[in-house]
Structure 1
Amino acid sequence: MTAATVIGVDAATTGLGDADHLARALAGELGLPETASVGTHAVRTGRPHLALTLTLPNAATADGVWRALTGRAAPEPVGLALGEWRHGPAELSEGAAHAVAERTERGAGRAVLFPGAGALTGTVGVAELLAASAVDEVTLLGAAGPPDGARRILTRDHLRPEWREGRLVLTVMEAAGGVLVPFEVPDPTPCCADH
């Protein structure tokens, strides 16, 4: 992956739910391939908010998506970044560039859409999840090691793994009945949703 295949999109989105909605809307509008991924990244300069990254399979696809994004009429100001290119208000395009840097380094951010995510619904085994998706690792909150590959994860149709030290990592926790659930819940309570 190079910066030439990662596009940053900063619409100054403030909530995780809103960022997830924007990620899905853009993926649908742009017709992103299943090999693409869309992530969220915290921007802490100015007013803290979230920016998106669109990670595309090759530079030609990224170029086409860039042209579509720069040519669309957005209801609110949007900043974009692709390599050295910037588009939109400076503060937002720099937020987009920050997101691109994080995604390119695979050091931070959370994945909303990623290869294999569509098939991970209902209850899946840890080993099955790892084999069928871009997730590199599953960690069990509070455990010294990873969960057994035969353990089952009740996905709640909401998996949001995070990039850490170059790996896409899904954190899970114990739930009733011996199943595991993702640490991030689909509908967080308002007091905790954006922390």
Structure 2
Amino acid sequence: MTEQHEAPGVHSVIGVDAGTATLREADHLIHDLVDRLDLPPGTIACTHLIRTAERRGTAISLAAPDDAAADAAWGSLAALAAREMSAAGAVLGERLYGPAESARAAALAAAEHVHRRCGRAVVFPGVHHLTGTVTVAEVLTRTVIDRVTVLGTPSTGGPGPDPATPVLTRDHVRPEWRDGQLLLALVPAAGGALAPFEVPNPTPCCADHA
């Protein structure tokens, strides 16, 4: 028995390790799989750093909005992997696919997402609203991001930055799971605005997927 299999949502979160090394590669993999597996609106897809004795790189997790959508995506993923990703590992609940080493990394990613303790979100509901300049209020009301924080400012547990503060998204917004909440870290920018802590490197990933 593992804690992973008892957690709510475990049967709707797919973990995948396709050997990606960098966050940028993992971002591309997420966009590719979300499109090719026809994952529905409501999907949250994250990257996860894997640092084990046998694997150092980046795996991903795909959280479908319900078990039925996850089951459909799992069937499509298995067929895709058999054709094009022979070394990839994947996990959905107690179902495993691929080499043991890759499947273990995929399971780590899935477990982190299930428990919402870690994971950098690339695809999430409302992300399409986060282009150009928006306000803090729009970040919180038009997406599933739960909270924003400004790095370098005292953490007082208060309401956070002024809701009217502009956020320069740079079309690249990557909130992270922290203690069960999707948290977006911001930093001060020119003119009293804020911007996401993570800077596009060198340009926003997967512009062709927009």
TM-score of the two chains, using structure 2 as the length reference: 0.87
Rounded Cα–Cα distance in structure 1 between residues aligned with 2:95 and 2:39: 20
Structure 1: segments with no counterpart, 5+ residues = 190-195
Please say if 1:14 is aligned against 2:24: no
Rounded Cα–Cα distance in structure 1 between residues aligned with 2:195 and 2:86: 36
* Percentage identity across paired residues of the two chains: 49
Residue aligning to 1:89? 99
Contact 2:38 / 2:73 at 8 angstroms: preserved in 1? no
SS at match of 1:13: coil
Rounded Cα–Cα distance in structure 1 between residues aligned with 2:105 and 2:167: 34
CA deviation map 1:65-119 (0-9, x unaligned)? 0000011112451100000110000000111111111001100110000011011
What is the CA-CA distance between 1:133 and the residue it aligns to?
A: 0.4
What is the CA-CA distance between 1:143 and the residue it aligns to?
A: 1.1
The aligned runs of 1:1-195 (5 Å cut-off) are 1-45=8-52, 46-72=54-80, 73-145=83-155, 146-187=160-201
Rounded Cα–Cα distance in structure 2 between residues aligned with 1:174 and 1:8: 34
Rounded Cα–Cα distance in structure 2 between residues aligned with 1:27 and 1:84: 22
Residue aligning to 2:206? none
Indicate the RMSD between aligned Cα atoms, in angstroms.
1.3
Contact 2:150 / 2:161 at 8 angstroms: preserved in 1? yes
SS at match of 1:186: coil
CA deviation map 1:29-79 (0-9, x unaligned)? 112112101100111112311111000011111000000001111245110
Rounded Cα–Cα distance in structure 1 between residues aligned with 2:76 and 2:139: 33
Rounded Cα–Cα distance in structure 1 between residues aligned with 2:181 and 2:37: 26
Aligned residue identity for 1:56 = A
Rounded Cα–Cα distance in structure 2 between residues aligned with 1:107 and 1:184: 19
- Runs (4 or more) in structure 1 with deviation over 6 Å come to none
User: How many residue pairs end up in the alignment?
Assistant: 189
TM-score of the two chains, using structure 1 as the length reference: 0.93
Structure 1 range deviating more: 66-75 or 149-158: 66-75
